[in-house]
Structure 1
Amino acid sequence: MREVESYFTYSNKEESLVDHNVHWRAGIGADGSETFLPRTVIYDLKGGFGSLRKINALYEPGYETGHSEAAPSLWSGQSVLQKQPPVEPSAYQKSLDAGTEPPRLTTSSVRYWSDFTRVFYHPKSLVQLYDFELNSSIRPFERYSMGTELFQMLDKEDDIADRDFRPFVEECDRMQGIQTLATLDDAWGGFATQYLDVLRDEYPKSCIWLWGLQSPMLDVSREKRQLRMSNMAQSIAQACSTASMVVPLSIPEGELPRNLTVDPRSPWHVSAAFATAIESSTLETRMAVGRHQQPTSMWDIVESLNTGGEQTLSRLRMGVGSSASAGQDQEGEGVDFFDLGRLKGPREKSRKRRVFGQMSSQRGLETGSDDADDDKEEKADARTRRLVGDPVYRRLTSEHSFDTPLKFPLLDSFPSIYADGTDRTDISVRTVLSTETTIGPQVKTLKSLTSWSIPLDEREVLSNGLADVADAYQDDWSSGSDEDDDDL
């Protein structure tokens, strides 16, 4: 979200390529001034928001008055106020508030995600869950069942979706879809899947995406690694039956391109890489109408990927800078974010990859040098694309529907993880979303290594769910050379 703010234009002579109303909502602040804030609901544990206050400078006067008037009516006796020392804002945030040149952020100075956020949020956007504390060693929020139980408890007391989510939906003239982000290898996976169930019941025809994040597993004990894989298995099985599309994201261990430097122990670094991929791969759904651009919806992308009707799990690859120019869909180029629990299916590299559906997006790239290659590809695929069962490719190039010169902005809050982005304010990016046969073996491997650790009464349901997901990526058009695709 922090990147999107740089797309705004502040002059009548400037024409924005992005429709800001998709992810931003207009409103009125406490002083009557117009506001433009993100359309989002953020849940975090106690202490997870850092120095970010629920009531910010745009709404503070009105909210403070309301609370002070309501307080006497709730309790007539004496009260004792106990306050936990507030988290001190980072030097970067202090500079933003003062309007001065902010200092350079480092991995040591970033403690919370709020240390590098650059926007205000509506008070209803920030929901703190006090039942668990961030980084607690006594009661860590780390098991899938904890997340499901927490959601069910909160939802029973107060309809969460109706209280937190519906107000933002009612402001939309035409809701294109819902995007959710959550870590799937801890208790948030259980919380997220329960939330998705409620959203699907409330909005049965809406397009719902889940970007499933995975935490790095460096220096993680064997027991913790097994627990995370178990959480991931339960999250994937449940989410794929509810969401329109699920995209797992993880930073590969020791497989990064030379122009990408990510410290896996830094959530700031990891989230920056994820943000680049997510924002770039969905940019087309937020493009303004005009300038030879036709609106593309989230459902359009799903239809291009889910060609078989049950392929709701997709793979995301990304190339940045020189990797983007080379084309990350070539072997060895870019970074592959799909790695369920850091597992590799048996003989995966030797198996021929078949693509069912693919969505390529490029931004800020020179297309002249690619025209010849695209022409060759069109001619080579002219015959095969007419055959039933062949993969559906939707290449977003200048010859087709989408190819934008708008590069990915690198704000001063962004870490220096791209070698080609040093001392630059933006960078070219290419992303590829795909559904392909390589997904099935990884799901099967995840199933075989985690089913035994699940309680017996849930094991059969989980095993059948993951088997159904994997079966959707079987290459039914092969010549019988896939005996290694059998269940492990």
Structure 2
Amino acid sequence: MREIVTLQLGNLSNYVATHFWNTQESYFTYSEDEKSLVDHNIHWRAGIGEDGSDTFLPRAVVYDLKGAFGPLRKVNPMYDVAPGQDVALASLWPGKPAVHKQNPLSSIDYQRDLDAGVKPGKLKASDIRYWSDYSRVYHHPKSLVQLYDFELNSSIMPFERFEMGTELFESLEKENEMVDRDWRPFVEECDQMQGVQVYTTLDDAWGGFASSYLEALRDEHPKTCIWVWGLQSPVATIAREKRRLRLANTAMSLNQACAQASMVVPLGLPDSRIPSGIAVDSSSAWNVSALLATATETASLQSRLRLDGSSQHLGMADMAQCLNVSGRQTLANMRMAVGPQAELDSDEPPELDLSQIGSSKDGVKTGSSSNRAFGRL
């Protein structure tokens, strides 16, 4: 079925991937007369819920830190067991268990409307606290992996250095065989996996975590196409020392990712020369991730189109091969045009260059990467 399994590493990655999954959900058709152009079996997996009903959920493994999932429950209603109905659990302990519960975070109105089957209102940037606030899809309980070693936005022990990510991966892999536990079940249920799609940040500790994870994946799948969307957080308002740290993290992450992946596409919001037709709030992860997700979804659309009798499938490996013309160029430049080009002012760039690494404050020139030997999306 040409399946693609998605690996999501880190908070910004999950913001971007949530937009991606919402878009995939929007492609579903519910009329017998309407046929979707997208083959949903590529990114979605069929299953059976706790009540015996059919489920259709993302082929994804989602990692984030403690506190990053917000009000999202690990076990969604499709797989929830009603109190007193778990016979296997009850047989382990004849006594009455004592239950201690922490008050859950409240959902925003948008999620409550979705749960009630009511058309939700329009979201604003100020409504969003977590990436789960605007998610329109359920995930399988095995998809969601919360890492309790670090806490989101911690001021005491921030998860911000490349080495911290590699050390965390090595620790979890040694203690829990994490890749076998989390990743392998989704791969084993594929008939003919065409590739792996990875969303990860490059400029913090998740870059180190991703580097180690990619090495493990390459050992497991030596001939499989691994496509990496390497994300960078906006840096315009960050202090100079922090920008330097992020730039060092990005350099190490790119070096390791390019050695293991079939194609790496660095993505970040440029801090200058954004076309006037694009309105984006760089302080809103929801806003920034929507723009980056638009680029990733559009660029990879060909890999999930439904085949008809006359068309030939262009998969992830074919796309990577088209970009990697010499066999050694595994780094691609991403540019995107939004809206009618005729509406742009004459002095504005015709395309938005999303491949800027670092900040223009540190001497980085937007678009300079296009002068190098990269493939271009």
What is the TM-score of this pair, normalised by structure 2?
0.87
In 2, distance between residues paired with 1:348 and 1:234?
Answer: 21
Q: 2:354 aligns with which of 315, 329, 337?
A: 337
Indicate the larger mover: 18-27 or 291-300: 291-300
Confirm whether residue 128 of structure 1 aligns to residue 182 of structure 2.
no
The Cα shift of 1:348 comes to 8.3
Match of 1:35 in 2: 55
Distance 1:288 1:278 in 2: 19
Q: Structure 1 240/351 Cα, relative in aligned 2: closer, same or farther at 3 Å?
A: closer
- Say if 2:357 and 2:364, in contact at 8 Å, map to a contact too: no
Q: Provide, for residues 218-262 of structure 1, a one-character-per-residue CA deviation record: whole Å limited to 9, x for no partner.
A: 321111111111111110111111111111100011321111111
Identify the residue that residue 45 of structure 1 maps to in structure 2. Answer: 65
Q: Secondary structure at the match of 1:173?
A: coil
Match of 1:88 in 2: 106
Residue 135 of structure 1 and its aligned partner are, at CA, apart by: 0.9
- Which protein has greater RCO, CA pairs closer than 8 Å, 6+ apart? 2
Alpha-carbon deviations, 1:61-118, whole Å to 9, x = none? 279844x8537848x9998755443111111000000111312211111000000000
Deviation for aligned residue 1:291: 6.6
Q: What is aligned with 1:61?
A: 81
**CA distance in structure 1 between the aligned counterparts of 2:220 and 2:192, rounded to whole angstroms:** 16
Report the residue type matching 2:352 in the other structure: V
3-state DSSP class of the match of 2:55?
strand
Letter in 1 for 2:89: A
Aligned to 1:22: 42
Preserved contact between residue 287 and residue 293 of structure 1 (Cα < 8 Å): no
Within 5 Å, give how 1:366-381 maps onto structure 2. Answer: none
Pair 1:193 & 2:211 matched: yes
Runs of 5+ unmatched residues, structure 2: 1-20
Matched, 1:108 2:108: no
Q: CA deviation at 1:308?
A: 1.4
Q: Distance in 1 between matches of 2:53 and 2:127?
A: 33
Per the alignment, residue 164 of structure 1 pairs with 182
Q: CA deviation at 1:345?
A: 7.2
Query: Identity over aligned residues, as a percent?
Result: 54
What is the match of residue 17 of structure 2? none
In structure 2, the residue matched to 1:70 is: 89
Q: Show CA shifts across 1:275-331 (max 9, x none).
A: 1000000000001111743211111111111111111111001112214x899xx98
Picking from 157, 173, 193, the partner of 1:155 is: 173
Matches for 1:440-451 after TM superposition, within 5 Å: none
Larger radius of gyration: 1
Q: Which residue matches 1:224?
A: 242
Deviation at 1:37, TM superposition (A): 0.6
- Partner Cα separation in structure 2 for residue 167 and residue 224 of structure 1: 38
2:333 equivalent to 1:318: no
Question: What SS does structure 1 have at the residue aligned with 2:187?
Answer: helix
SS at match of 2:296: helix
Instruction: Write the mapping of 1:80-479 to structure 2, written as runs, cut at 5 A.
Output: 82-290=100-308, 292-323=310-341, 332-342=349-359, 353=371, 357-358=375-376, 433=377
Q: Distance in 2 between matches of 1:352 and 1:35?
A: 44
Quote how far apart the aligned CAs of 1:4 are: 0.8
Please list every run of at least 4 consecutive aligned residues from structure 1 whose deviation after the TM superposition is greater than 3 angstroms.
Answer: 62-66, 68-74, 76-84, 343-358
User: Residue 340 of structure 1 aligns to a residue in which SS?
Assistant: coil
Contact 1:55–1:63 under 8 Å retained in 2: no
- 2:24 pairs with 1:7: no
- The answer to whether the 8 Å contact 2:61/2:182 transfers is yes
Classify the secondary structure of the residue corresponding to 2:302. helix
Change (3 A) 1:177 1:125: same
Are the counterparts in 1 of residues 266 and 333 from structure 2 also a CA contact under 8 Å? yes
- Is the Cα contact below 8 Å between 1:216 and 1:250 reproduced in 2? yes
Shift of 1:14: 1.6
CA RMSD in angstroms, aligned pairs only:
2.7
**Could you say what secondary structure the match of 1:261 adopts?**
coil
Change (3 A) 1:220 1:118: same
1:171 to partner: Cα distance: 1.2
Partner secondary structure for residue 212 of structure 1: strand
- TM-aligned CA distance change 1:12 to 1:218, over 3 Å: same
Is the CA contact (8 Å cut-off) linking 2:333 and 2:375 kept in structure 1? no
Deviation larger for 283-292 or 120-129: 283-292
* Range with greater deviation from structure 2 (120-129 or 2-11): 2-11
Which ranges in structure 1 are unaligned for 5 or more consecutive residues?
359-432, 434-488
What secondary structure does 2:320 align onto?
helix
Alpha-carbon distance, 1:10 to partner: 1.6
Q: Is the 8 A contact 1:182 1:213 kept in 2?
A: yes
SS at match of 1:141: coil
In structure 2, distance between residues paired with 1:9 and 1:44: 31
Q: Distance in 1 between matches of 2:369 and 2:179?
A: 43
Question: TM-score, normalization: structure 1?
Answer: 0.68
SS of match in other structure, 1:3: helix
Change (3 A) 1:81 1:297: same
Give the Cα–Cα distance (whole angstroms) in 1 for the partners of residues 143 and 369 of structure 2: 46
Aligned pair in 2 of structure 1 residues 314, 351: CA closer, same or farther (>3 Å)? closer
- In the alignment, residue 226 of structure 2 is paired with which amino acid? I
Shift of 1:352: 9.1
Residue of structure 1 in register with 2:9 after alignment? none
